[in-house]
Amino acid sequence: MRAIVEIRWGPLRGHKVVLSPGEQLRVGRTERADLVVPHDRQMAGLHFELSWDGAACALRSLTQAAPLALDGEPVAGGTVSNGSWIKAGETIFHVYLEEHTPPRRGAGAEPSPDKDRALALLESLPLPLFAVLDAARDDRILEILRESAEPHRSLYEGIRGEALSEVAPYLASTPPGSSLLRRLVLEGWGRRWGIYLTSARPFKEVRTHLRRFLMVLNDADEKRLYFRYYDPATLRAFIPACSGRQAAELFGPIGAFVAEGESGGALRFEAGASRGEGGTTAPMRHDANS
């Protein structure tokens, strides 16, 4: 088990550092630190240290000139639990233990042939793989993401996005050999947790592209609509019916989408592939203000 330190807000939000047993992490504003937070002028050059021995995570202040808080309480040191948060300067750090929380009993996390086939397909795709997950479906989704070393980030932005962080759609990287991918498939396949996609573009560019589709305008009546394309039921209905223009816009830098089918099998939609005829989807255009 590893310890995961994540910056939750600010210019470095989403940045994670992973500690293997026996490792330490020094955090501060200057390059003397292992994790540098240069924009936080309230943080000391070397502010605190975390040590992980595989069983316990220890926090120690490295300065007397600036305060340190653990779960909201001023401290000079202490033991950090899974899910604890640390405040140094104006920056909040969350600490999680990798795969610390097991699946809930009776939550549908049992293996199945459909899950095995879906995982085999996802692991066989040639381009880097990402997941888009709907945190509103199950609070277990965020629990898994936070206890994973892989990067993840909400597709929402701003103050409203922060307010909706517990129910937002999230983009997560699932590289080859990722235990995150196996956990998501084992626990979420068949439960409409989200969709998967491939792209050769960096995480930031994929996220920017996906954000374009969160809200759309219906040309027929100019109404703004939420487009929950990350719901497998929505995606598998939309792609075969959409126009060529809509398909080109949706795919963009994406090589393929993978979603669970209605009967539990895996459906793959590739960029440029035939999408059938006689689509009935209403024309849509992107809302530039979303």
Mean pLDDT of 46-54: 97
Residue extents of the structural domains in the chain: 3-97, 113-286
What is the per-residue pLDDT for 258? 98
Residue 148 main-chain phi, psi, to 5 deg: -125, 145
Collapse the DSSP code of 10 into the 3-class scheme (helix H, G, I; strand E, B; otherwise coil) and give the result: coil
Task: List the strands of the sheet with 73-74, edge to edge.
Answer: 16-19, 3-7, 91-97, 85-88, 68-70, 73-74
Q: What number of other Cβ atoms are within 10 A of residue 157's Cβ?
A: 14
Contact between residue 194 and residue 180 where contact means Cβ atoms under 8 Å apart: no
Alpha carbons 236 and 252: distance in angstroms, whole number: 17
Tokens of 21: 């047993």
pLDDT-above-90 percentage for the chain: 77
The first and second tokens of residue 11, run together, are 């210019």
Query: Tens of pLDDT along 171-228?
Result: 999 998 889 999 999 999 999 999 999 999 999 999 999 999 998 877 777 788 888 9
Q: Residues 125-183: pLDDT tens digits?
A: 999 999 999 999 999 999 999 999 999 999 998 888 888 889 999 999 999 888 999 99
Cα Rg of the chain, angstroms: 21
Percentage of residues in the chain having pLDDT higher than 70: 94
The two three-digit tokens of residue 91, written as one number: 């920056």
Q: Are strands 91-97 and 3-7 parallel, antiparallel or unpaired?
A: antiparallel
Top-tier CATH class for 3-97? mainly beta
Amino acid code (one letter) for 237: A
Give the helix ranges, DSSP H, for the chain.
113-124, 140-146, 158-163, 179-188, 203-211, 232-241, 244-251
Q: How confident is the model at residue 254 (pLDDT cuts 50, 70, 90)?
A: very high
